[in-house]
Structure 1
Amino acid sequence: MKYELLTPVSCAGLTHRETDVTGLEEFRFADEEAFLQEAREHFKGVVLLQTCNRVEIYVQGDSETLQHFLEEKGKKNFWTLEGCACLNHLLHLSAGIDSMIVGEDQILGQLKKALSLSQASGVCSPVLDLCINKAVHAGIEVRKRTNINNGAVSIGSAAVELAEELLGSLDGSHILVVGGGEIGKLVAQALAAKKLTAIYVTNRTFETAKTLAEEIGGKAVMLDELYRYISLSDVVISCTAAPHPIIHAKPIAETIKNRVWPLDKKPKPLILIDIAQPRDIEDSVRTIEGVRVFTIDDLKNVSEKNLISRRHEAELAEKFLLEEEKKFVSLINRASANEALADLHTWAEAIRIRERDRALSRLSGSEIKTNEIVDDFSRVLVKKLLTDATFAIRSCAEIGDMNTAEKIVLAITRGKRPCSPKEDLED
């Protein structure tokens, strides 16, 4: 039996699969909190996920409204998913199946971070909270049940693999890592396993660069010495969170002049790998002779090889996720019963207070302890009376039968007789 999702949940986005780095940059939201606040005016809840190779928006609401909202903000060429298709995508995302590097673990932390921002901004609904947490839990479980992330590479280590392919070998090389955040750490850790002559690390905050450099046996350098150390490096891997380019054409053109060895006629080639989103390297840098610029788009070959090696594990993960999707729908539908249950419990609470006050008025002059006992008694009585009704309503909701759940509430609170199937058809 395929259950219907009672609460509308939708998502929209663009990923490395549908567009290139430029397309992702155009679809990004520079001010995430401002976007969340604006979206909250249209939806009961919203979560924004932005990584180096995807931008996705999750809402408690329908996909048509989401599409119109994004189009009004000038966004285009994006996809939308609704209901079970949205949940299915979220599960595949958390499992690492939809990632550029299949099985990578970073997406779990990125989903948690997106949820935290939504919660801190006051725009997260209980349903979206449930969706993200359930997806993260499923993603963790997939990695326990399969080998999908055994030896899995990250975007950072894929960049290192690309550098190795370009040079033939990294042995004896000098490499500069620009950025000490999550991806920068992954790059540095992957480089630490290579036989390099030197690893330089720079970051906007020098202490961060220093800490990372100490972990991998590298050298931390000040960001204002960036171009000096670029001139000393064979490869530069840049991955900051800056909202604009930090490596510009004019100083690179000057830097490249310093890379001419005494007996060489041309500058020593410089490889720049930009895995930041938005990009760290000014686009015009690629026009400078002797400089080769690579972006996330160039990691797709690494991604294809990664997918082939993990295809069997991905198939095992798919089977598990199919079962998880059924549980996912039941959980969200169960939460959908909360509104009906709120009406039921509000009705019961009003009766409880009215009858409690009547009883206490008849016990006028009694001790405070007696009042407390009467109040506690009335609470317990109401709770016990509603237990079976609450269970029945949630059970109906879990299988997508909210119609029956609402009839139960109306039968109890307003004395309405539940209609027979025949009467339903006549209505």
Structure 2
Amino acid sequence: MNSKLLTSVACAGLTHHEANIEKLEEFRFSDEEQFLQDAREHFKGVVLLQTCNRVEIFVQGESMALENFLESKGRSGFWTLEGCKALTHLLRLACGMDSMIVGEDQIIGQLKKALTFAHEVGVCSQVLDLCINKAVHTGIEVRKRTHINNGAVSIGSAAVKLAEELLGSLEGRHILVVGGGEMGKLVAQALAAKNLTAIYVTNRTFETAKRLAEEIGGKAVMMDELYHYISLSDVVISCTAAPHPVIHCEPLREIINRQRWPIEEVKKPLILIDIAQPRDIEENVSVIEGIKLFTIDDLRSVSEKNMKSRRQEALMAEAFLIEESKHFITLLNRACANETLGDLHTWAESIRIRERDKALARVNNADERIKDIFDDFSKVLMKKLLADATFAVRSCAEYGDLETADKLVLAITRGKRPCSPREDLED
């Protein structure tokens, strides 16, 4: 199969592989809708994927144009991929093979959400819709064929694992989860399996916190009681979708100075784990004595252990992706024939309607039933006559030869004789 791609597809981004949390925050786009609308002026389609450890932009267009556009937005230090390399990256991404936690399942939902939002804003093209959906389908299939996600942890459960490593055990501990969204649910579910004394859940919307707390047997608390329950906790894991910090330095300093555990002779350290993007906890919190602050960057050790246990499964997935990449190119190239086929079918439809009307004019007092019969007959006849031509055009496109497909349509619609390769050279 020809590996030539007939349409321009590119992606660019910054991920946990190249950047720490500070750089990812700087690269992030706070107003996603405005960014997509601006990008749509330069590309046929655009999808923006922003998660806690990556920011990636997929476009139907050229990589150089994407690079120039991002630079005009004040972004730098990012990578770009084009054509087949961009498609392969998208497949690996959907399979969880590019994730910090190899094999994690959340990326599937994140890609679907990014695609849905692009459609809502009106910036997604047919080609990008095909790309994202194909990647999602492949990601699901890889997880069925391999054990790459067996026991796979998410960023949320990796945060729980980190807390467990730091404390030795979570048994008998008090833990506060700040945030009731998708990541908060993952954290809470991971905590529910531990033998904790108390799990507190808080969220900007109290009803959300209440629902999540009921699911895991925890206690929902009001957001305005945040610092009180921080003072009661051994670990705080924060993962809201707020665009600004929700846990600030001065209130934390105050509760630490007021002795969180007055009956203890030795102060226990308060462990804060911030897995939000942008960050939930002010960075200068780490200078407060008695507080240990950890971020997504500190989850890399969990990621490395995860990768070792899934290396063999990842190799199996890579072998499957080689074949899927070929199918991906074929699928996209087939879609590229739609415009050419549109010309063919428009031409045929105009003839069908003209000849149908001529035939009906020869029938005296044709009622609606007769008209429907003529119309159905002409449609079926046209479809059958165009079947072989449609197949030939799509086959040419699948093999990366859209030029021959165009010549075939011109030969049919305009009676233009297709040139042989020798005649092309002579011209």
How would you bin the TM-score normalised by the shorter chain? over 0.9
Q: CA deviation at 1:365?
A: 3.8
Deviations 1:172-211 (A, max 9, x none): 1111000011111111111111121111110111111111
In structure 2, C-alpha distance between the alignment counterparts of 1:262 and 1:31, rounded to whole Å: 45
8 Å CA contact 2:244–2:279 kept in 1: the answer is yes
- 1:422/1:201 Cα in 2 relative to 1: closer, same or farther (>3 Å)? same
In structure 2, C-alpha distance between the alignment counterparts of 1:366 and 1:204, rounded to whole Å: 68
8 Å CA contact 1:336–1:397 kept in 2: the answer is yes
User: Which 4+ runs in 1 deviate beyond 6 A?
Assistant: 263-266
Higher mean C-alpha deviation, range 376-385 or range 312-321:
376-385
Instruction: Tell me which residue corresponds to 1:295.
Output: 295
Deviations 1:285-307 (A, max 9, x none): 11212111110000011101110
In structure 2, C-alpha distance between the alignment counterparts of 1:96 and 1:424, rounded to whole Å: 47
Q: CA deviation at 1:262?
A: 4.5
8 Å CA contact 1:259–1:268 kept in 2: the answer is no
Q: CA deviation at 1:152?
A: 0.6
Instruction: Tell me which residue corresponds to 1:175.
Output: 175
Instruction: Tell me which residue corresponds to 2:358.
Output: 358
In structure 2, C-alpha distance between the alignment counterparts of 1:228 and 1:258, rounded to whole Å: 11
Deviations 1:83-134 (A, max 9, x none): 1101100110111110000000000111111111111111111111111111
- 1:262/1:52 Cα in 2 relative to 1: closer, same or farther (>3 Å)? closer
Instruction: Tell me which residue corresponds to 2:32.
Output: 32
Instruction: Tell me which residue corresponds to 1:59.
Output: 59
Instruction: Tell me which residue corresponds to 1:90.
Output: 90
Instruction: Tell me which residue corresponds to 2:137.
Output: 137
Instruction: Tell me which residue corresponds to 1:393.
Output: 393
Q: Find out whether 1:80 has 2:109 as its counterpart.
A: no
Alignment of 1:213-252 (within 5 A): 213-252=213-252
Q: CA deviation at 1:171?
A: 1.6
In structure 2, C-alpha distance between the alignment counterparts of 1:367 and 1:195, rounded to whole Å: 78
Q: CA deviation at 1:375?
A: 2.2
In structure 2, C-alpha distance between the alignment counterparts of 1:259 and 1:272, rounded to whole Å: 17
- 1:307/1:362 Cα in 2 relative to 1: closer, same or farther (>3 Å)? same
In structure 2, C-alpha distance between the alignment counterparts of 1:199 and 1:158, rounded to whole Å: 17
Instruction: Tell me which residue corresponds to 2:272.
Output: 272
In structure 2, C-alpha distance between the alignment counterparts of 1:408 and 1:133, rounded to whole Å: 31
8 Å CA contact 1:256–1:267 kept in 2: the answer is no
Deviations 1:353-403 (A, max 9, x none): 222222333335433332232222222221111111001101111111111
In structure 2, C-alpha distance between the alignment counterparts of 1:237 and 1:291, rounded to whole Å: 13
8 Å CA contact 1:257–1:267 kept in 2: the answer is no
In structure 2, C-alpha distance between the alignment counterparts of 1:99 and 1:80, rounded to whole Å: 18
Q: CA deviation at 1:267?
A: 4.4
Higher mean C-alpha deviation, range 352-361 or range 118-127:
352-361
SS of corresponding position for 1:124: coil
In structure 2, C-alpha distance between the alignment counterparts of 1:308 and 1:366, rounded to whole Å: 76
Higher mean C-alpha deviation, range 131-140 or range 367-376:
367-376
8 Å CA contact 1:46–1:57 kept in 2: the answer is yes
Q: CA deviation at 1:7?
A: 1.0
Alignment of 1:191-340 (within 5 A): 191-259=191-259, 261-262=261-262, 267-340=267-340
Q: CA deviation at 1:256?
A: 1.0
In structure 1, C-alpha distance between the alignment counterparts of 2:425 and 2:102, rounded to whole Å: 50
Q: Which residue identity does 1:164 align to in structure 2?
A: E
8 Å CA contact 2:231–2:260 kept in 1: the answer is no
In structure 2, C-alpha distance between the alignment counterparts of 1:269 and 1:100, rounded to whole Å: 27
Instruction: Tell me which residue corresponds to 2:410.
Output: 410
Instruction: Tell me which residue corresponds to 2:101.
Output: 101
Q: CA deviation at 1:260?
A: 5.1
In structure 2, C-alpha distance between the alignment counterparts of 1:34 and 1:413, rounded to whole Å: 43
In structure 1, C-alpha distance between the alignment counterparts of 2:194 and 2:372, rounded to whole Å: 72
Q: CA deviation at 1:416?
A: 1.0
Gapped regions of structure 1 (runs ≥ 5): none
Instruction: Tell me which residue corresponds to 1:7.
Output: 7
In structure 2, C-alpha distance between the alignment counterparts of 1:371 and 1:263, rounded to whole Å: 92
Gapped regions of structure 2 (runs ≥ 5): none
Instruction: Tell me which residue corresponds to 2:21.
Output: 21
- 1:260/1:339 Cα in 2 relative to 1: closer, same or farther (>3 Å)? closer
In structure 2, C-alpha distance between the alignment counterparts of 1:34 and 1:260, rounded to whole Å: 44
Deviations 1:209-264 (A, max 9, x none): 11111111111100100000001111100000001110011111111112354476
8 Å CA contact 2:162–2:299 kept in 1: the answer is yes
Q: Which residue identity does 2:238 align to in structure 1?
A: S
8 Å CA contact 2:356–2:378 kept in 1: the answer is yes
In structure 1, C-alpha distance between the alignment counterparts of 2:94 and 2:6, rounded to whole Å: 23
Q: CA deviation at 1:2?
A: 4.0
SS of corresponding position for 1:310: helix
TM-score by length of 1: 0.97
Query: How many pairs does the alignment contain?
Result: 427
Higher mean C-alpha deviation, range 218-227 or range 30-39:
30-39
Instruction: Tell me which residue corresponds to 1:42.
Output: 42
Instruction: Tell me which residue corresponds to 2:419.
Output: 419
Question: Quick one: percent identity of the two aligned structures?
Answer: 74
8 Å CA contact 1:231–1:258 kept in 2: the answer is no
In structure 2, C-alpha distance between the alignment counterparts of 1:149 and 1:230, rounded to whole Å: 33
SS of corresponding position for 1:196: coil
Q: Which residue identity does 1:237 align to in structure 2?
A: I
